[in-house]
């Protein structure tokens, strides 16, 4: 395929290399041109504007820093939207939903197809062609883009017609990472208050709790939304949350994330669900949003 690629930074450059290795023709643009030039030796053609990268290409991919940078490469006389009707734009940048929605609309007006295609993976994963790609937008556009997307990642999730869904899911995924980091930080701090090294806490938690697909098991329970058959009852979970907090009084160890789940378990019990499985905590989170599973 003839592919335009805008944004050849730490993520974009290895993505371009994957495309070249798969035999695609790639025309690249980067705001700081020197970064793009480095790819010329590897077979990419370098151009001066985003519009030039898009013109004549079967599709153009963007991978830039943030919402502002994405708008900058789309708008104006040199922008992708100015490259004429019929194009296809896959935005791999992590964008906010408002920006993604606005972009989808602007492309429609310009008679260009638009896909939101944010990715999971760090630069090392990009270099190894092991990104995961979340793609959403019109099915026909997705079919056109699929070969290029598959060249860049180990898997592509198709998420329906509304481009914004892919952005929301990317953000939801990053949220789970933040939550995990904070969780580990608090768990380590608690361990340290009892003389246990963080490495040891990590080893025990990772071996004991995460070896057996626990996230999948709990995820299915929460997704199913039926908590009445308790494996581990919510009132026991509430008790353990209180005991964890009592343990944290040595030090003391501030644990704000524990505080949140403790109060949510208290609410679960106060609402008369103490005998349900403690995964009901996850059900309450959905219920707060007005969802009834």
| Residues in 114-153 at the binding interface with a copy of itself, rule: CB under 8 A | 120-123, 125, 132, 134
- Residue 250: partners with Cβ closer than 8 Å, 6 or more residues away: 193, 194
Positions in 153-172 near a copy of itself (CB under 8 A): 155, 157, 159-160, 162, 164-165, 167-169, 171-172
Q: How far apart are CA 146 and CA 131, in angstroms?
A: 14
User: In the range 226-285, which residues lie near a copy of itself by CB under 8 A?
Assistant: 231-232, 236-267, 269-272, 278-279, 281-285
Q: How many residues does the chain have?
A: 293
What phi, psi does 161 have (nearest 5°)? Answer: -80, -25
Tokens of 223: 């997704």
Minimum distance from CB of 45 to a copy of itself (Å)?
Answer: 30
Shortest distance, position 85 Cβ to a copy of itself, whole Å: 28
CB of 277 to a copy of itself, least distance (A): 10
Cβ distance 245 to 187 under 8 Å? no
Give CA–CA dist 130/154, Å, rounded: 5
Contact status: 216 vs a copy of itself (CB under 8 A): yes
The correct pick among 105, 111, 180, 226 for binding a copy of itself (CB under 8 A) is 180
Using CB under 8 A, which residues numbered 12 to 41 contact a copy of itself? none
Active-site residue 239, yes or no?
no
Q: Which stretch binds a copy of itself (CB under 8 A): 24-32, 81-89, 137-145, 181-189?
A: 181-189
Binder to a copy of itself among 38, 72, 82, 196 (CB under 8 A)?
196
Q: Considering beta carbons, is residue 120 or 142 the nearer one to a copy of itself? A: 120
Binding mask 68-107 for a copy of itself (x = CB under 8 A): --------------------------xxxxx---------
Say which of 170, 220, 228, 239 is annotated catalytic.
170
Residue 52 near residue 28 (C-beta atoms within 8 A): no
**Closer CB to a copy of itself, residue 56 or residue 155?**
155
Compute the radius of gyration of the chain from its Cα atoms.
23
Q: Which residues are catalytic?
A: 170
């Amino acid at each position: 395929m003839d592919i335009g690629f805008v944004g050849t930074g730490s993520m974009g450059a290895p993505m371009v290399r994957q495309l070249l290795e798969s035999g695609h023709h790639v025309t690249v643009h980067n705001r700081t041109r020197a970064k793009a030039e480095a790819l010329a030796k590897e077979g990419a053609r370098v151009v001066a504007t985003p519009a030039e990268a898009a013109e004549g290409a079967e599709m153009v991919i963007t991978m830039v820093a943030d919402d502002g940078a994405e708008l900058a490469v789309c708008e104006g006389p040199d922008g992708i939207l100015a490259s004429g009707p019929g194009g296809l734009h896959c935005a791999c940048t992590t964008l906010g939903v408002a920006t993604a929605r606005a972009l989808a609309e602007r492309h429609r007006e310009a008679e260009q197809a638009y896909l939101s295609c944010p990715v999971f993976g760090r630069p090392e994963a990009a270099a190894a062609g092991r990104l995961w790609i979340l793609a959403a937008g019109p099915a026909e556009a997705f079919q056109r883009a699929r070969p290029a997307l598959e060249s860049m990642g180990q898997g592509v999730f198709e998420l329906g017609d509304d481009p914004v869904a892919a952005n929301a899911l990317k953000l939801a995924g990053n949220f789970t990472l933040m939550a995990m980091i904070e969780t580990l930080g608090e768990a380590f701090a608690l361990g340290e208050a009892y003389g246990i090294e963080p490495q040891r806490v990590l080893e025990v938690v990772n071996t004991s709790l995460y070896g057996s697909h626990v996230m999948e098991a709990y995820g299915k329970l929460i997704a199913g939304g039926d908590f009445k058959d308790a494996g581990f009852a919510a009132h026991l979970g509430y008790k353990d949350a209180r005991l964890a907090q009592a343990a944290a009084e040595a030090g003391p160890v501030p644990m704000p994330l524990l505080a949140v789940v403790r109060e949510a378990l208290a609410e679960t019990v106060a609402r008369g669900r103490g005998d349900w499985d403690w995964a009901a905590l996850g059900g309450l989170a959905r219920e707060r949003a007005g969802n009834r599973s």
